[in-house]
Amino acid sequence: MFLDSFLDGKCLFRYFGSRRLNAKTDFSDIDILCILSNKYYNRTNIYELFHIYLRDIIHATNIVIIPSSFVPVVKFDYQGDSYDVIFSFIQLDIIPHINDANAYGVYQELLFYSCSEEDTRSLCGAMVSEYISKVCSGFIDVYSHFLIQIKKWVYRRGLYSNILGYFNGVSLAVLVAHYFLYTKKMSTPNFHEFIRIYLQWNEPITLIPTSPYTSSYTPGFLQIFTPTNPPINTMYNTSYYQLQTIQKEFRKTLEGGFIGDIYPYWFRSKKSVYTLIQVISFTKELHQKNRLYIESKLKHIPRMFQQTDLEFDFCTHCYTLEHQRTFFIIRTNRLIDIHPFFIKLQNNLLHEAVINIDHVQSEKLPSFLFI
């Protein structure tokens, strides 16, 4: 791997996620796990060392370090691809050898030597790919192809954003694997059957039937658990509003009878008011930081109106090919004034940006925002 020279080989890098499952899409990042011994390094100094390495040795661009996220991550671009690197520190002097055959078992053992909750989450994220590769080994090509289809459908409907309480790569990987194991259709997956099953599903979703569920499980809410011990709810950020939007998209897709339409169902609603938010950053690096910050705040908008009869949906991850522009689309059933919210948001931005807000008709929303 191109990162193997970091720290003179005193750490171990392993692909996981879409790269490991051969399910990469145009909007997927390449996920990498880095395992280190806590004898020499910790989270305080590793980010600075890794940033210098990325910038000066391999000449990566758009380097963004997010140490306070649910799973701390370093994001960067290299040779046309976007990468997410997560770190897991273990209380061992020597890092064990890991290959595709033994990865899941070794990760499971390393959980006992992890130094913190963040380290455990990092290992659990990588374990998902290894477990799925094992249980779906007999039909992995069919699984990967179907996972790509589901990811593209979810993305085109604005439901691909873990920050906003929707799906992410891990939750979809588990969900698709669960579909194959539940239906036993290892060679003939059916998209509409998939939608129909999980529209009505009201139990925790896990690949390990005997796995204990976390005490945070709330009946009626979509919760997808990792096949790890302890299990982690990949939909931990999902609220009532996100669940409603997911259910509406599932239901409308069944009613429509096809998956070719690129628009979310609420885009076609005639009794709607659309607000188009355009965020313009001054550099590509600031664009990445501002996008992540604004996405984390958008979920607070429904709470401002949850005591009214206001209908509220939003489409996320709508980006142009211009790296410094980000678009968000909000739909309501009547005109609301969200300018104060975004004025306050802009004032609190740590990185300079311009936020433009326009109320537009559906026909004036460019279709490329949904592709």
pLDDT digits 0-9 by tens, 3-29? 989 988 889 999 999 999 999 887 788
Given its phi and psi angles, is residue 59 left (phi above 0), alpha (psi -120 to 50 degrees) or beta?
A: left
Helix (H, G, I), strand (E, B) or coil at 290: helix
Query: Who has greater pLDDT, 154 or 270?
Result: 154
- The answer on 119 and 60 residing in a single domain is yes
pLDDT digits 0-9 by tens, 167-204? 989 999 999 999 999 998 888 888 888 988 998 888 88
CATH number, domain at 102? 3.30.460.10
Q: What is the DSSP letter of 368?
A: G
Assess if residue 262 is contained within a domain.
Answer: no
- The answer on 64 and 16 residing in a single domain is yes
Query: Who has greater pLDDT, 85 or 301?
Result: 85
Task: Return d(Cα 296, Cα 308) in angstroms, integer.
Answer: 23
Listed residue (25, 19, 26, 18) closest to 1, CA to CA: 19
Residue type, 371: I
pLDDT digits 0-9 by tens, 205-244? 888 865 555 444 555 557 888 888 778 888 887 877 788 8
- The answer on 13 and 127 residing in a single domain is yes
pLDDT for residue 175: 94
Q: Which domain holds residue 118?
A: 6-135
Mean pLDDT, the chain, rounded, equals: 80
Query: For residue 143, what pLDDT band results from cuts at 50, 70 and 90?
Result: very high
- The answer on 211 and 130 residing in a single domain is no
CATH number, domain at 287? 3.30.70
- The answer on 197 and 117 residing in a single domain is no
- Using the CB atoms, write b or e for 167-188: b if 16+ within 10 Å: bbbbbbbbbbbbbbeeeebeee
Domain boundary among 224, 256, 288: 256
pLDDT for residue 12: 92
Q: What is the dihedral of CA 244, 248, 249, 251, to 10 degrees?
A: 140
Per-residue pLDDT, averaged over 280-304, amounts to 72
Residue whose structure tokens are 């709508």: 318
Neighbours of 61 (CB within 10 A): 12
Lowest mean pLDDT among 83-87, 116-120, 149-153, 354-358: 354-358
- The answer on 166 and 208 residing in a single domain is yes
**pLDDT of 259 strictly over 80:** no
pLDDT for residue 349: 67
Domain boundary among 203, 231, 256: 256
pLDDT for residue 247: 86
Assess if residue 93 is contained within a domain.
Answer: yes
Contact 146, 189 (CB under 8 A): yes
pLDDT digits 0-9 by tens, 322-350? 446 777 777 777 777 777 777 777 776 65
Assess if residue 1 is contained within a domain.
Answer: no
pLDDT for residue 266: 52
pLDDT for residue 321: 42
Per-residue pLDDT, averaged over 257-270, amounts to 49
pLDDT for residue 267: 54
Per-residue pLDDT, averaged over 287-292, amounts to 74
Give the Å distances, CA to CA, from 335 to 220, 269, 300, 339: 31, 15, 18, 12
Residues with Cβ within 8 Å of residue 178, at least 6 apart in sequence:
205, 206, 207, 224
Number of domains in the chain: 3
